[in-house]
Structure 1
């Protein structure tokens, strides 16, 4: 029911926020305690969010030929079983937050609200992609808060950068359902503006995201290794948009899954190597 590769979009950025926050504020690596509970929080949050989406959208998924074979509409798992999984996942998130710090606990209601709210947004606004961006942007922000107990300007810049990157690739993903969304009266940027304008909006969001990654280089006092990682990430974004066009969207899944899972991992690894090289 849940694809592990979806978690790969957010988990590297959660670790990036955790590590970068520690060095930016305290000049040290995160503790084993912080690393473990950040991981538990991410597993709980992503599992709950994706399961909620499957439950809330089960009727829509059943009508859509692309999603009709998903576990719930296909009858492979019951709604009750999924709700039990959601409760357990949120419980993991709550336990992890209480193991980290007070700010993490205080922000729990906001995080849960966004995770639940996103699944309903396609019913009334084409800005749903940005709401998903906010949800995934909480990954690096949550990692930073787990490390420091506060949200600095760099943390908010990282949050906005990841949010725009997420919104950009979600628009590409949503092009697959353009006709279905219009037929069912659902809202998305592709359904509202059409295929070609949507691809340009996605490119604009990814341009802003690239600018954000570059700004982090200076504001977080990083070095050339991080800059090299950002260059690779920008090249991946360029390639992502080069392999799709209004005339050939056959490689949408490659652009969505492979490129973005690789990008988040690359940025995280180069950030870690940069800090290791300069600070040991």
Structure 2
């Protein structure tokens, strides 16, 4: 049990709050109301399995890098709390659970299920050869609403792909902010990231541009999905959160990166879901 708790700490289970609400957002829109309970349960199982396996995989692959980085040296594998073999077992179990959940959802989910796994593997190696690692992470989380849509509707459309793109730019924007903490380490170890190449000031500018793109795509989805004023209000609130996120940090003060990273992004994902849910139930319903 202690090992399992250490594993949950290692994968930062609390960070599930970033992607899971967007999966629920897509599910509610696809169902035009409350999705069937069995669908909701299997979406949760698939999301938890996929994210758990993905984070565990990243920690195993990056174990030696984490050991060298003072910021990450106390993570569970570098600190010796969990062996790589133990983490690998949990990863295999997680991915098996994910695959079973997609099988239980529908045929298209199961057929497309290997795509996220390939993205997870690719992301874990990208910092070794490209600064686009932030974009790849955005793609990984952007698949959450697309997958949930497929789970409910059994098909794909342009709108849900756009929602995935909006999530992509939102994630890439805040991941650039998070990567500012390791700018010196990345240069020292020849690891690739946008902050390493652009520096703090221009990385913050690019992060703002990414968040502007995400905001306007979410606004466009108001028209595409014929949403009501509550959805629009929720997106405006999220825009305020993103604006405040960038007010918290500057090129001269990065002391509040963790607040900007976790707290505000959790508020953003939950706000999108709650206001979309209320909009669909109270206005479209």
* TM-score normalized by the length of structure 2: 0.96
- Partner in structure 2 of residue 88 of structure 1: 93
> Is contact 1:158–1:212 with CA below 8 Å preserved after alignment?
yes
Q: Which residue is equivalent to 1:106?
A: 111
Alignment map for 1:114-263 (pairs within 5 Å):
114-263=119-268
Which residue does 1:72 correspond to in 2? 77
* 1:22 Cα offset (Å): 1.6
In structure 2, what is the equivalent of residue 59 of structure 1?
Answer: 64
Find the aligned partners of 2:18 and 2:121 in 1 and give their Cα distance.
19
Q: Deviations over 1:74-103 (max 9, x none)?
A: 000111110000001001110100001111
CA-to-aligned-CA distance 1:186-220 (integer Å, 9 cap, x gap)? 00000011110000000000000000110010000
In structure 1, distance between residues paired with 2:262 and 2:284 = 33
SS of structure 2 residue aligned to 1:182: helix
Q: Within 5 Å, give how 1:11-50 maps onto structure 2.
A: 11-23=20-32, 28-50=33-55
- State the shift of 1:151 in Å: 1.0
CA distance in 1, matches of 2:12, 2:23: 18
SS across alignment from 1:194:
helix
Shift of 1:232: 0.5
Please state how far the C-alpha of 1:29 moved relative to its aligned partner: 2.5
> Is this contact kept in 1: 2:143–2:164, CA < 8 A?
yes
Cα distance in 2 for partners of 1:41, 1:15 equals 12
Runs (4+) of structure 1 exceeding 3 A deviation are none
Q: Is 1:21–1:155's contact at 8 Å kept on the other side of the alignment?
A: no
Conserved? CA contact 1:5–1:257, under 8 Å? no
**CA–CA distance in structure 1, aligned partners of residues 269 and 154 of structure 2:** 24
Give the TM-score normalised by the residue count of structure 1: 0.97
Equivalent in the alignment of 2:6: none
Q: Residue 278 of structure 1: CA displacement?
A: 1.7
Instruction: Answer whether contact 1:103 1:145 (CA < 8 A) is retained.
Output: yes
Asked if 1:265 corresponds to 2:239, the answer is: no
Structure 2 residues without counterparts, runs of 5 or longer: 1-9
RMSD of aligned residue pairs (Cα, Å): 0.7
Aligned residue pairs total 276
Partners of 2:60 and 2:212 lie apart in 1 by 34
